[in-house]
């Protein structure tokens, strides 16, 4: 590599200087940010010839593996106001902008979960049966925080049958376990609350540096906060089955 020639600096006498106070920004994020978890994503090495192996327990065939979740806070703002009602589908249900402290380096496909924020979803589900003990259950898309109501379809000529929590069913994570009142292949509808999950799809500002003055008046280079575009997930990329044996967790710390 050729040796670079150092260009002379401009005349900086009596020039105003704008300082970025990193501590003040971190305090802003901590006091006013949302509580989130960041799960770092990386391609699963099971992927060969652009195709992940569907039986892989590391990625469940998605081609992406998620590391150890880290809990922190972030500023999250909506950025899809002008396209709110354009090209809408279940797969395009909202995007946002996220800003975190510079020590958290975001990358493509990292999973962001808002811990204290709950949204409502409604789904039609089929009742399944466990092969080992005959338990009847249904699987929602996301881990359930609470259930507002659950109905079973009876027939086209009869009203839906409401089922009662703890009496007719219970839930654990994304699983709804039935005690009585249903049979295999019955159709149910459920309205439930769950945490919102996003995936990083674009990094707006991953390389932004600023010069700060230390206590001795010397300049030092520091990184600015990381900003990224995240898209709301319409499915859980690493959901567990009833026996919780269909996924291997790979710790990254």
The pLDDT value given to residue 87: 56
Residues 145-160: tens digit of each pLDDT: 999 999 999 999 999 9
Q: Lowest mean pLDDT of 94-98, 229-233, 236-240, name the range.
A: 236-240
The pLDDT value given to residue 227: 85
Q: What pTM did the predictor assign? A: 0.77
Residues 104-136: tens digit of each pLDDT: 888 889 999 999 889 899 999 999 988 777 889
CB contact set of 29 (below 8 Å; sequence gap of 6+): 73, 74, 75, 99, 100, 101, 225
Please compute, for residue 13, the number of CA atoms within 13 A of its CA located in the half-sphere on the CB side.
Answer: 1
CA dihedral sign of residues 78, 79, 81, 86: negative
Instruction: Report yes or no: 214 and 179 within 8 Å, Cβ to Cβ.
Output: no
Tell me the C-alpha to C-alpha distance, in Å, between residue 103 and each of 22, 52, 81, 99, 250. Answer: 11, 31, 30, 11, 22
* pLDDT at position 20 over 90: no
Instruction: Report yes or no: 36 and 72 within 8 Å, Cβ to Cβ.
Output: yes
* pLDDT at position 207 over 80: no
Higher pLDDT, 79 or 46: 46
CB atoms within 10 A of CB 174: 19
Residues 161-201: tens digit of each pLDDT: 999 999 999 999 889 999 988 999 999 999 999 999 999 99
The pLDDT value given to residue 130: 82
Q: What kind and span of H or E run contains 32?
A: helix 22-32
């Amino acid at each position: 590599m050729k040796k670079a020639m150092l260009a002379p600096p401009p005349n900086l006498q009596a020039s105003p200087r704008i300082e970025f106070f990193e501590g003040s920004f971190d305090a802003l994020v901590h006091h006013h940010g949302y509580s989130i978890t960041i799960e770092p994503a990386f391609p699963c090495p099971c992927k060969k010839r652009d195709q992940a192996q569907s039986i892989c327990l590391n990625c469940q065939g998605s081609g992406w593996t998620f590391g150890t979740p880290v809990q922190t806070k972030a500023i999250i703002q909506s950025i899809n106001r002008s396209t709110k009602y354009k090209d809408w589908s279940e797969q395009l249900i909202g995007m946002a902008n996220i800003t975190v402290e510079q020590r958290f380096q975001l990358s493509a496909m990292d999973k962001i979960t808002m811990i204290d924020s709950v949204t409502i979803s409604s789904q039609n589900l089929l009742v399944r049966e466990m092969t080992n003990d005959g338990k009847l259950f249904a699987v929602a898309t996301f881990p359930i925080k609470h259930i507002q109501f659950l109905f079973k379809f009876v027939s086209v000529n009869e009203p839906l049958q409401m089922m009662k929590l703890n009496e007719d069913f219970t839930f654990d994570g994304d699983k709804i376990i039935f005690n009585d009142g249903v049979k295999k292949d019955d159709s149910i509808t459920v309205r439930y609350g769950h945490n919102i999950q996003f995936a990083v799809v674009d990094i707006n500002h991953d390389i932004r540096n600023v010069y700060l003055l230390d206590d001795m008046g010397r300049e030092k280079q520091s990184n600015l906060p990381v900003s990224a575009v995240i898209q709301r997930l319409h499915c859980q990329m690493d959901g567990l089955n009833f026996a919780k044996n269909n996924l291997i967790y790979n710790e990254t710390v």
